Amino acid sequence: MTRPRVWLTLLGAAMSIAAIAILLRGIDAADTWRRLRGANTLWFVAGCVVTVVGYFIRAVRWGDLLASNRRPPFGRLFGATMIGFLAINTLPARLGEFVRAYALARTERMATATVLGSVAVERVLDLAALGVFWSLSLLVAPLPPWFRWSGFVTLGITVAIGGGLWGFHRFRGWDALAAPEGLLSRLPDRPKRILMAAVPAFGAGVLAIAKPRVLASATLWTALMWAVNVSVFTIVGFSLHMSLPIWAPFLLTFIVCVGIMVPSSPGFVGVLEGACVVALGLVGVGGPEALAYGVLYHATQLLPLVLLGSWYAVREHVGPEVLHDISDAPKVPQRKK
């Protein structure tokens, strides 16, 4: 692992430890455990199932974004999605997206950079969805100034990234970067060869952002996927016999997603629970009830990934040696003839 990733991993671990310490210091752990033991198992299982449905829709959307190059079979899209998100929750330094791209590129004989380009478009769509949730929460919830600013920042990042990708594609920036006299030509030989092959391939992966029909379809799948994901927050509330305002899941979705952007240990341990506690505090729910909610919601997200992600990883032979190679030096396999 490179030195920056080592430092990022250590920072993430420190953030998770700090979050856990703060939560346990201010909240009765025994009362939290009692509430977890009283949770409705059927609602918890329903939350896990609905979480998997969200990944199904994510895989369908991914296929639409890749269709400009070549649409992989749904089974491989779903398998790579589960492997990638399992890696996001188990590997340090946010390497899961590289694993996800590698897992699909290897089976479909596509350039990893092309697959990563489609993932970049996904992330723009997801950030836009978070901006919508922030706007909905802003209309109905009594929110503090820091929350309003976080929403403006999210919208600004979305516009900047989306506009940058569209502009680069519109004005053939990928080809200009990789041209013999382009900016990449000034790099040392080895990184120059890798990037000059990767940049045009990455550009091919963002074709969807310049195709209105594909982008419209992906936007509809994004709306459906996030509607499903939001419903998990409601289901977890049912499991703990909580009655949340109808707008609370949108607020939870935004704050949790923003919260896990903060460096943390693999699995977002402590940080995700802390984000749930903060969000529920704005709804008027606190203490052991809020912490129990965060732990239970976290379990609905991790359990399907551990079961399905591990199964697909074994089936596709994505073992520790593959993850080690990616974490040390992500490679850009070229399309095989």
Is 334's pLDDT higher than 50?
A: no
Contact 267, 90 (CB under 8 A): yes
pLDDT for residue 116: 86
Residue 69 contacts residue 247 (beta carbons within 8 Å): no
pLDDT at 329 over 70: no
What whole-number distance in Å separates Cα of residue 330 and Cα of residue 198? 11
Please give the pLDDT value at position 260.
79
pLDDT tens column, 48-58 = 999 999 999 99
Which range has the top average pLDDT, 113-122, 146-155, 188-197? 113-122
Secondary-structure breakdown of the chain: helix, strand, coil percentages, each rounded to the nearest 5: 80, 0, 20
Domain boundaries, the chain: 3-328
Please, what sign has the CA dihedral across residues 53, 54, 57, 59?
A: negative
User: Side chain identity at 206, as an amino acid letter?
Assistant: V
Q: For residue 62, what pLDDT is reported?
A: 94
Per-residue pLDDT band at 332 (split at 50, 70, 90): very low
Average pLDDT score over the chain: 80
Q: Are 315 and 268 in contact (CB under 8 A)?
A: no
Question: Is pLDDT above 90 for 81?
Answer: yes
Find the helix or strand (DSSP H, E) in which 106 lies. helix 96-108
Cα angle: 290, vertex 292, 295; to 5 degrees: 110
Share of the chain above pLDDT 90, in %: 31
Tell me: pLDDT of 336 over 50: no
pLDDT at 330: 42
Residue type for position 333 = P
Looking at residues 96-101, what average pLDDT do you find? 83
pTM given for the model: 0.81
So what's the pLDDT on residue 186?
65
Least confident of 39-43, 214-218, 270-274, 327-331: 327-331
Determine the pLDDT at residue 331: 44
- Confidence (pLDDT) at 194: 57
Per-residue pLDDT at 1 exceeds 90: no
SS3 177: helix
- Alpha-carbon torsion angle 159, 211, 136, 42, nearest 10: -120
3-state SS, residue 67 = coil
In this structure, the number of other CB atoms found within 10 A of the CB of residue 328 comes to 12
- Mean per-residue pLDDT for 216-241? 95
